[in-house]
Structure 1
Amino acid sequence: MSKPKSPANVVVLGGGGAGARIARTLAQQLGGAKVTLIEAREYYLHYPGTLRMLVTAEPKLEDKVLISYDRLFANTTGTVVHGTATSIVRSTDQRGGHVSLDSGEQVPYDALVIASGSVWEGPLAFPRAKAAALEHISEWRENIKNAQGVAIVGGGLVGAEIAGEIRDIYPDKKMALVQRENHLFVSRYPDKYRIDADKRWKQRNISLVFEDEIEEIPSFPASGVMTKKGAVIEADLVIPTRGGRPNTAVVSTLGPGLLSEEGYIKVDPHLQVKGLPGIFAAGDVLDWQEVKQVAKVPGHVSVVVANVKSFIRNKRQTAIYNGTFELIVVTNGANGGVAFIDKLWGLRFGNTFAKMIKSKDLFIGPTNKALGH
């Protein structure tokens, strides 16, 4: 076999939970290769810590939740390029190519990893610039503080967690959580777990409105809101938490048929984009039958790293992703929550376990360490 040109260019598109870890690991393990991380934001956003940060200024979580990329590639040849990808162009020999950015720059690659994450609305729609992100945080804190009543639209993990954070800081504020399904979270989890969660959030005086939705999100302050089914909710602040959408529009520039109807990237068991050797995907963008969450990231990272290394060394890719068991820990403020582990007969846990695993520190310390801080 012929040797790849030296140094090999490995590009990771997206610097979130999966992308940053893949880029850092490849830069550490691929001696001589050039690893480039392309990320639109000026900072790494640690999503599990954002909801508490958006509600309260104490203990100044923005210092640990908006994480600098400056130490990601310490003692390696990796680099971070801030920009938004506008297209991906494969070379005429179909091996390698380049990523075009909104700045006009073209970043060449021999192997490419797409880990572009999700697009969010409302409080989780953080701006690219850090200064603008700090303004965004301040505005949400003020709106939540000044609201007489809050309606949260979407009863998944994000909606439930921000409800718990608000209740910690504002024990008497009117609050309703509107969910399209008949219980909190998604139906992938067993009813016993979801019903237990319903009870725990209700016990904190959070009204749950099931099998309904608010279609139009009014600006703050609103004069009350009405659900699709006609229920009136006393709220002047409406917070959309309806889940993220895969940030995969740029993948369409590679050709048709690469995305599912929902916009997820079609991959083979090696997490290689179907029909495109040398292009891999990881994180929330995968068209894979599993709940999108950070707990899946380690499995994606290990498979993609192994297969990228094999690809640029002209070796057969052998690492296979078989999925993993479902695991979810949902905080209900800083001192509680619920958890489910899809092992044995299905393991359910409450406040003590949730606080020990997540609620107390929201994985902030380990995440900063993983990014070199």
Structure 2
Amino acid sequence: MKNVLFVGYGPSAVQAAKDLVGSLPADYRIVAITSNEGYWPPAALRAAVVPGWEDKPLACVDAAFPQDGRHVMLKMTNVVELRKNSVVVDKAHPDLGFEADEIPFEYCVLAMGSKYPYPCRPHPSSSFSQTLDDLRQTQSEVSRSQQILIIGGGPVGIEFAGEVASHYGKGTKEITLVHSRERLLDQSGWKEKLGRSLRGQLEGYGVRVVVRRKVVDAPEKTGRIEGGREFHLDNGEAIKADFVFLATGNAPNSDLVASFDSSVLNDSKHIKVNSAFQVEGYEHIFAMGDVTDVKEGKQYAHAKNHGSIVASNILALIQSPSASTASLKSYKPGSNLILVSVGPWGGAGQIFGFVPGAWFSALVKSRSLFVSDFKKLYNVA
């Protein structure tokens, strides 16, 4: 069997596999390698705060995987080395026909996503049950804490602040969000009105928002601090907290590629791909999703579209191995859009230049966090 190998099995990879499975020649199969079960970051923050939500961002990858006998899912497995025509994994799977730890491929799809502190991503190599336990533990820690410090005022920090404030109610907990930049969401492309709306909603819940300041002695990970302690801003101010949430540190999960060929990474460590999602210099290796240098927001709506393009191009190359990149399907980066929740009934966004507020955000995203789309993609009822 010739292998079309996936490294990572997040939403973009699931979409690509679904598009491939019905059209692959009989001598080809999909081999998917994933260190975790399916995970849905948009629902993870609520799952870490609100009891009863812990199962919402989780799905077993088996249900989303083609089950016609040919294809192979290697769960709880890590790729430790990428080679030109094979990968090395951290364990053999003799029960699935892989006696050795090296797996050859005809085509490889790199879909490792991005690195972000827990709970935006599960702890590495966590099982389904362990991730459930972790989220319940975080819910308990948040419940027992009174002074919550959130470091980072991007979408993740804003959404976590909104989840805690809306779930527990104004004045119940002392919540402080510290952001190093001039205003919330002040990156290029986002209107000032967007950050202003989100800040106003947070402050309406009693959240204290501090901008243009850094926490100089931040802890290494999110979690409860028994007894509390003081943290210091770069202006000397002290903030006491017994729970700290880190909303910084988002980065492409490209270490595997860096050790293979660092020349295919840009300055921000994203993988350089062409319009067909082929990795620069390697026509048989594709990359998609958050790990790529595609000039668009790193969002599920875009990544899902990547999957269909990659699947189409792999099929084209199987049918005509000498096909040029010019003959493959080309991807046009998606529009600049975002929706940021502030609890289940608030939020704001920017869509095609418009800045809708709480009512629209609640209707489209905040109440559901697109959980039904995630479950449908992974074939979970």
Please say whether Structure 1 and Structure 2 have the same fold, judged by a TM-score greater than 0.5. yes
1:300 aligns with 2:300: no
Report the residue type matching 1:111 in the other structure. Answer: Y
Deviations 1:120-176 (A, max 9, x none): 224334222223222321221121111111011111111111111101221121101
The Cα RMSD (Å) is: 1.7
1:196 — aligned with what? 197
1:4 — aligned with what? none
1:52 aligns with 2:46: yes
For the Cα contact (< 8 Å) 1:153–1:239, is it kept in 2?
Answer: yes
How far apart are 1:207 and its partner, in Å? Answer: 0.9
Aligned match for 2:371, one of 364, 369, 373: 364
Distance 1:65 1:11, change over 3 A: same
Secondary structure of the 1:161 match is: helix
Aligned match for 1:11, one of 5, 10, 19: 5
2-structure distance, mates of 1:328, 1:78: 36
2:56 — aligned with what? 64
How far apart are 1:304 and its partner, in Å? Answer: 1.2
Secondary structure of the 2:164 match is: helix
1-structure distance, mates of 2:23, 2:356: 38
1-structure distance, mates of 2:313, 2:63: 25
Secondary structure of the 2:88 match is: strand
1:102 — aligned with what? 90
Deviations 1:72-125 (A, max 9, x none): 1244433211211111112xxxxxx11111115222210111010111224334
Gaps of 5+ in 2: 93-100
Report the residue type matching 1:37 in the other structure. Answer: A
2-structure distance, mates of 1:65, 1:228: 36
For the Cα contact (< 8 Å) 1:34–1:78, is it kept in 2?
Answer: yes
1:78 aligns with 2:75: no
2-structure distance, mates of 1:67, 1:193: 32
1:216 — aligned with what? 217
Aligned match for 1:246, one of 246, 249, 252: 252
State percent identity of aligned pairs: 26
Secondary structure of the 2:279 match is: coil
2-structure distance, mates of 1:10, 1:46: 24
2-structure distance, mates of 1:233, 1:98: 51
Secondary structure of the 2:119 match is: helix
Report the residue type matching 2:74 in the other structure. Answer: V
2-structure distance, mates of 1:139, 1:80: 29
For the Cα contact (< 8 Å) 2:217–2:232, is it kept in 1?
Answer: no
For the Cα contact (< 8 Å) 2:273–2:293, is it kept in 1?
Answer: yes
2-structure distance, mates of 1:149, 1:103: 43
How far apart are 1:197 and its partner, in Å? Answer: 1.8
2:22 — aligned with what? 28
Secondary structure of the 1:260 match is: coil
2:330 — aligned with what? 320
For the Cα contact (< 8 Å) 1:8–1:34, is it kept in 2?
Answer: yes
Gaps of 5+ in 1: 1-6, 91-96
1-structure distance, mates of 2:118, 2:368: 24
Secondary structure of the 1:208 match is: strand
Report the residue type matching 2:35 in the other structure. Answer: A
Greater Cα offset, 227-236 or 267-276: 227-236
2-structure distance, mates of 1:234, 1:255: 45
Aligned match for 1:350, one of 345, 357, 381: 357
For the Cα contact (< 8 Å) 2:198–2:342, is it kept in 1?
Answer: no
Aligned match for 2:297, one of 284, 291, 315: 291
Distance 1:186 1:265, change over 3 A: farther
1:226 — aligned with what? 232
How far apart are 1:14 and its partner, in Å? Answer: 0.8
Secondary structure of the 2:340 match is: strand
Secondary structure of the 1:36 match is: strand
Report the residue type matching 2:62 in the other structure. Answer: D
2-structure distance, mates of 1:47, 1:237: 21
For the Cα contact (< 8 Å) 2:47–2:56, is it kept in 1?
Answer: no
Distance 1:12 1:74, change over 3 A: closer
How far apart are 1:281 and its partner, in Å? Answer: 0.6
1:153 — aligned with what? 151
2-structure distance, mates of 1:231, 1:309: 59
Report the residue type matching 1:120 in the other structure. Answer: Y
For the Cα contact (< 8 Å) 2:10–2:38, is it kept in 1?
Answer: yes
How far apart are 1:369 and its partner, in Å? Answer: 0.9
1:178 — aligned with what? 178
* TM-score where L is the length of structure 1: 0.90
For the Cα contact (< 8 Å) 1:179–1:213, is it kept in 2?
Answer: yes
